Amino acid sequence: MKYLSIICFIFFAAVNPTKAQENNRENRFKQIETAKIAYVTKELAITPKEAERFFPLYNQYQNDIRALIHQKRNAAGGQRRGKNELQYDEEVLALKRKYRDIFTPVLDAQRATRFFEVEREFREQLFKELRQRSGNRP
Query: Could you tell me which of 72, 76, 64, 73 has the C-alpha nearest to residue 88?
Result: 72
Domain ranges of the chain: 2-134
Tens digits of per-residue pLDDT, 1-39?
443 333 333 444 444 555 556 678 888 889 999 999 999
DSSP, collapsed to helix, strand or coil, labels residue 128 as helix
Average pLDDT for 78-85 = 58
Per-residue pLDDT, 8:
36
pTM greater than 0.85 (yes/no) = no
